[in-house]
Amino acid sequence: MTDAIDYRSPISPGLSWYEASVGDRPTYPPLDGDTAVDICIVGGGFTGLSAAAEAARLGASVVLLDAARFGDGASGRNGGQLNTGQRSSADEQEEELGFERAKALFDIAEEAKQHMLAFTEENGINIDYTQGHVSVAHKARYVNDYRAYPETMAKRFGYPHLRFLDRNEAAAIVGSDRYHGGVYDSGTGHIHPLKLVVGTARVAAARGAHLHENTKVTGLMPAPGKVRVATDAGTVTASRVLLAVNAHGDQKLERTMASHVMPISSFIGATVPLEGEAAETVLPGRESVDDSRFVVRYFRRLRDGRLLFGGREAYGGETPADIEAGVRRQMAEVYPALKDVEITHAWGGSVGITLPRQPFVREVVPGVTAMGGYSGHGVMLSNFTGKMWAEAVAGNRDRLNLFRDLKVPPFPGGRRFRKPLLTLALSWYAMLDRL
């Protein structure tokens, strides 16, 4: 159980602090043989599990398949921050999409946040929700935009939970003089994401969904009025299929989603619980933080006092040999006093991004919908898009058109040059962050 974990154990690059602290994590058997159901879901992260739980609640027969264990992808290895709104700010979306659509997308994101908190409370899932989030400016020229944003959000988008922080206020809350100002958001916070994965799987199973881990999908084949999902352990024939693999798409399985959603590897470290002066000055209010870099740095204090710090990224899909060193270097830039603090866990995961940083939702072949590309806002948005998909399939209201209608082009370069071009572009933006 959680209280028996030895946090002083040597670093295991593949072991996240979430895995070490989640407590009881049930396993689910692989698929064994052929079956037929109303709905087959591929991917056992936030999107797939939420869709399974809702579809089963609405009376559908459901099979969910995952090639590994639920939460082994981004859903169980991310920064745990809920954030507010979409990946692009509401005023930026208004410039691009107009006020009506920007407001609708913001409202969906707010409903997603409230749904998550209500769902976990109703089902007794302890996700360690901690209120409070700070967005900070790493360049002085960004401060005026930060200063204006709370008023814009309150007056135009009906969100009154933001307040501007000047440099001194930001330093007092964050515990670092690295930033020039920021915005405090009291209407959101951060969670233990793997606890949400485990809890949602329990709910889905209790409602009658058949959940299968360690079952790799090898093909999607049309059948009369159906889709046959092939695996190495049997087939699932279903009327509707949800492809909820996000950053783990496979060109051999389905090309459209794989060409629109690309993986970026992000890396996180967790320290020992902070003590002494560091415990009193580094995020004493336990808020989560993200900064204004294109290659975002994100960090938060956990309930037991440790600092979780993330931000180092890799664009070619590779995992560095020493994750800890890269995380420590960035952490020390923000908190020089922590340059020698012990890091007990260091791990990575793949974030699914799209070119415009908007979610990708599309019927990719008849009967098969693919969803992903939440671009860093997946903790909140992915759960709700899964729920909305299940509602639409059941014949209830269909609000996914808000996402289907977004212009999400494929990454340029084709199968051969897409990754090199992405690496070049993101490396350019990372350089600009340093200027």
Compute the distance between CA of residue 327 and CA of residue 249 in angstroms, rounded to an integer.
Answer: 27
Walking along the chain (435 residues) 10 residues at a time, the average pLDDT comes out as: 32 74 96 98 97 98 97 93 92 93 96 96 98 97 97 97 98 98 98 98 98 96 93 96 90 85 88 97 97 91 96 61 87 96 91 88 95 90 96 92 92 67 59 58
Cβ atoms of 134 and 173 closer than 8 Å: yes
pLDDT, residue 7, reads 31
Which residue, 197, 192, 189, is CA-closest to 50?
Answer: 197
Hey, what domains does the chain have and what are their CATH numbers? Answer: 2-77+195-261+356-427 (3.50.50.60), 130-188+263-353 (3.30.9.10)
H-helix or E-strand spanning residue 333: helix 323-334
pLDDT, residue 419, reads 66
3-class DSSP state of 338: helix
Strands (E), 95-177: 130-136, 162-165
pLDDT, residue 202, reads 98
pLDDT, residue 421, reads 62
118-121: which pairs have CB atoms within 8 A and are 24 or more residues apart?
A: 119/200, 119/203, 119/383, 120/196, 120/199
| pTM of the shown model | 0.92
Q: What angle do CA 324, 327, 328 make, to 5 degrees?
A: 80
Compute the distance between CA of residue 34 and CA of residue 63 in angstroms, rounded to an integer.
Answer: 11
